[in-house]
Amino acid sequence: SKARMFDKDSGISVTFKDVAGLAEAKIELEEIVEFLKKPEKFTELGGKIPKGALLVGPPGTGKTLLAKAVAGEANVPFFSMSGSDFVEMFVGVGASRVRDLFKKAKEKAPCIVFIDEIDAIGRARGKNVNFGGNDERENTLNQLLTEMDGFASNSGVIILAATNRADILDRALMRAGRFDRQIAVELPDLNERKEIFEVHLRPLRLAEDVQSEFMARQTPGFSGADIANVCNEAALIAARKSKKLVGKEDFLDAVDRIVGGLEKKNKIISKDE
């Protein structure tokens, strides 16, 4: 199966410390950590624990990182699949992958199931006639809805899903008892970029002229993923010059390079549209 799992035995553990900025998203997700750690505390009073939450925001803003951090904080297994993994040409494959994923998750509960790019299966039904028959994708979506309805809210399985297009999702996904919470994961502001730089500067051997505040000012509009990319690129540029330390100049070169890459990507997109 394609489902990937990380747990405490695999040695990969992400916590909220690894996620810079996104204070509000973290507060909302902390609640889910509590649900996973102490479900009785909530169910004893007759409350129903939510089954899932939808992380909504632009690419590279840390949605996957946050989902892993919830699992890491609660110390539970993390199962992840991408929406595009479910979209298959062969009839029944998508639906059976959904069934497998939930079967495994229920066996390992409490746990987190993360579905990235949920829009690949969760697009509103019967709207994209130009793609011809969408029956297969609809079957997969229906299976997902069935699975979500089929497990009890106190089963210990919490599903997090990510999308950058909440507007195109089938409303049925957002109904009570499914993804009834939406958590916004926005592009970082100046201060958040500074914090993200601090996370990704940590492993580098830095010259004294490198400052997170200065770098944050040079990178408006950058996502966390872009910033991680700048830091790595700067280290490679410095190494290519056989430097002993990564300096400010290397970071500025890396920013230029990444801005160039982003511009190219945008040009290609606008040509197509």
Binding residues: 57-64
Residue ranges of the alpha helices (H) in the chain?
Answer: 23-37, 39-43, 63-74, 83-86, 93-108, 119-122, 135-150, 171-174, 190-201, 212-217, 224-240, 248-272
49 makes contact with ligand ATP (CB under 6 A): no
Alpha carbon distance 121, 86 (integer Å): 7
Q: Which residue from 19, 69, 70, 210 is in contact with ligand ATP, where contact means CB under 6 A? A: 19
Residue 10 or 146 with smaller CB distance to ligand ATP? 10
Taking the complex as a whole, the smallest distance from the CB of residue 59 to ligand ATP amounts, in Å, to: 4
Choose one: 3-11, 28-36, 60-68, 128-136; the region binding ligand ATP (CB under 6 A). Answer: 60-68
Decide if residue 20 touches ligand ATP (CB under 6 A). yes
Minimal distance, residue 228 CB to ligand ATP, in Å: 4
Give CA–CA dist 94/134, Å, rounded: 12
| Alpha-carbon gap, residue 72 to 7, rounded angstroms | 8
Closer to ligand ATP by CB, 63 or 137: give it: 63
* Interaction between residue 118 and ligand ATP (CB under 6 A): no
Residues 66, 86: Cα–Cα separation, whole Å: 22
- 170 near ligand ATP (CB under 6 A): no
- 36 versus 228: smaller Cβ distance to ligand ATP: 228
- Map residues 125-164 to x or -, x wherever contact with ligand ATP holds by CB under 6 A: -------------------------------------x-x
Quick one: 87 exposed, middle or buried, by C-beta within 10 A (0-12, 13-18, 19+)?
middle
Binding residue (CB under 6 A) for ligand ATP from 25, 49, 56, 61: 61
Span of 38-46, 57-65, 142-150, 165-173 interacting with ligand ATP by CB under 6 A? 57-65
* Residue choice 47, 59, 203, 260 for contact with ligand ATP (CB under 6 A): 59
Residue 31 DSSP one-character state = H
Tallying the residues shown for the chain, one arrives at: 273
225 is an interface residue for ligand ATP by CB under 6 A: yes
Q: Are 83 and 95 in contact (CB under 8 A)?
A: no
Dihedral angle sign, alpha carbons of residues 170, 174, 178, 181: positive
Q: How far apart are CA 87 and CA 58, in angstroms?
A: 22
String marking each residue 66-105 x if it binds ligand ATP according to CB under 6 A: ----------------------------------------
Rg over alpha carbons for the chain, rounded to the nearest Å, is: 21
Measured distance CA(228)–CA(202) in Å, rounded: 11
Residue carrying structure tokens 């909530």: 42
* Binding flags for ligand ATP, 179-218, as an x/- string (CB under 6 A): -----------------x--x-------------------
Which residues contribute to the site for ligand ATP (CB under 6 A)?
19-22, 59-65, 116, 162, 164, 196, 199, 224-225, 228
